Amino acid sequence: MSDVHVSNTKRIWFVFALLSVVTTVEVFLGIIKPESLHLNTFLGMNLLNWIFYILTIFKAYYIVWAFMHMEGEKSSLRNAVVVPVVFLVIYLLFILLTEADYIFEVFKNSTIKWNF
């Protein structure tokens, strides 16, 4: 990247348009909440929430790759940054959400109640 200093204004505006469109879609879905997506469960969440998370990761990819210019860095830097974060976040989410669901079941099915 340090050798070539060509302007990539075009790509920047493209990514901006893309992020705006995705955000608009998210907001639109968030307002209308289509029943076919909202009223079901898939792996602990409804499909609408899964769509939101997938679109969020899609946006995150473009922010990191285009805006933070990760696509121009060496693969060693890319991996050193992305792999630990992705691994630790998945690990953390797995542990915390599994435990939270367990605690929810305890409150729901036993005599212990928080809300009476």
Partner 1 sequence: MGSTVTTANSEEKTWGGGNEPMGASYGKLMMWFFIVSDALTFSGFLAAYGFSRFKFIETWPLADEVFTHFPFLHGVSAPMYYVALMTFILIGSSVTMVLAVDAGHQLNKAKVTFYMFLTIIGGLIFVGSQAWEWKNFIKGEYGAIETKGGSLLQFVDNTGHRVKLEDFAASLPKEREQLTRSKGKWFMDESSLPTYTVAEVQAGFKAHPDLLIRTEVIYEDNAASKADPKNNTTLNKIKHKTILTRAESERRLESAVLVVEGANLKRNEYGSKLFADFFFFITGFHGFHVFSGVVINIIIFFNVLVGTYEKRRSYEMVEKVGLYWHFVDLVWVFVFTVFYLV
In degrees rounded to 5, what are phi and psi of residue 15?
-65, -40
Q: Is 38 in the site for partner 1 (CB under 8 A)?
A: yes
Q: Is 111 in the site for partner 1 (CB under 8 A)?
A: no
Q: How far apart are the first and last CA of the chain?
A: 62
Task: Kindly state the tokens that stand for 56.
Answer: 């969020």
Q: Is 21 in the site for partner 1 (CB under 8 A)?
A: no
C-alpha distances out from residue 42 to 37, 47, 70, Å: 10, 6, 33
To 10 degrees, the CA torsion angle through 31, 35, 37, 41?
120
**Which positions from 39 to 68 touch partner 1 by CB under 8 A, shown as an x/- string?**
x----xx---x--xx-xx--xx--xx-xxx
Residues contributing to the site for partner 1 (CB under 8 A): 2, 5, 7-9, 12-13, 15-16, 19-20, 23-24, 26-27, 30-31, 38-39, 44-45, 49, 52-53, 55-56, 59-60, 63-64, 66-69, 73-74, 76-77, 80-81, 84-85, 88-89, 92-93, 96-97, 99-101, 103-104, 107-108, 114-116
